[in-house]
Structure 1
């Protein structure tokens, strides 16, 4: 019986290792980003980006720099939703390994006013699509995110669905 358990544990480790080895560079970068995002490690998230990288959260407006759009947004979300977490459904990579498409559910419970949404202590769980582009060194050069902003507002109790602050 002990031999069966040992073999099963070894096989499980081999399967996990071989699955990770099959991931390409964009999938690896995106996976590391979401691991750090789930841990609320903004500094760790930033380390994954190339100098001059851009971030675009489509419902919020035009793309911008990593600092003004990415870091400010992530810190704002974590501050307003201290239990912010994500559940990656899938990561798919383009054949050339330069882009990854991430299907992820992001959720949290609001603890303070933010993003023009008055705190009512409500929770949200909204599916997102992230497109992550990398350079030759495997650093993120661009990140674009899409989600249903009306659903986000509705789940948090905001009835005015305009994007204004």
Structure 2
């Protein structure tokens, strides 16, 4: 559990600060990220930084409420509620980015983090209800 505490703390701090550099520094160079807003896995530290920066560009006032953390060896699962305000365009991968709605989302999510022997994240899997996310933004779920 101890080795995850530092990583989880920094992970959440970087998200709440909207700091894609600090976020990416937590990942191995060849890490893989799975996220329901992206059709394909995001591969590599720089690609993970860029994808997170796109979310930071679209949302401000980000807060993460950690509800529970489970650790099993090199794997950790976090149950969280992410709250943020949509203040920038959001690219949903379907043509033109959606203009900012100014709405606040409060979205339950689950984050799975796998650590390598150097305590860098080698893989993440994010789970969230995209229909609820779109509905909270005032958008139609397609």
Instruction: Report TM bin, short chain.
Output: 0.7 to 0.9
Stretches of structure 1 lacking an aligned partner (at least 5 in a row):
1-22
Contact 1:84 1:108 in 2 (8 A): yes
Higher helix share: 1
Unaligned runs of 5+ in 2: 93-97
Corresponding residue SS for 2:117: coil
Q: Does 1:57 align with 2:38?
A: no
Secondary structure of 1:136's counterpart equals coil
Structure holding more strand per residue: 2
Q: TM-score normalized by structure 1?
A: 0.75
Aligned pair in 2 of structure 1 residues 114, 58: CA closer, same or farther (>3 Å)?
Answer: closer
Counterpart of 2:127 (choices 141, 146, 153) is 146
The SS at the match of 1:132 is strand
RMSD across aligned positions (CA)? 1.7
Aligned pairs, number: 136
Runs of 4+ in 1 over 6 A off after TM superposition: none
Instruction: Name the SS for the 2:68 alignment partner.
Output: strand
Bigger radius of gyration: 1
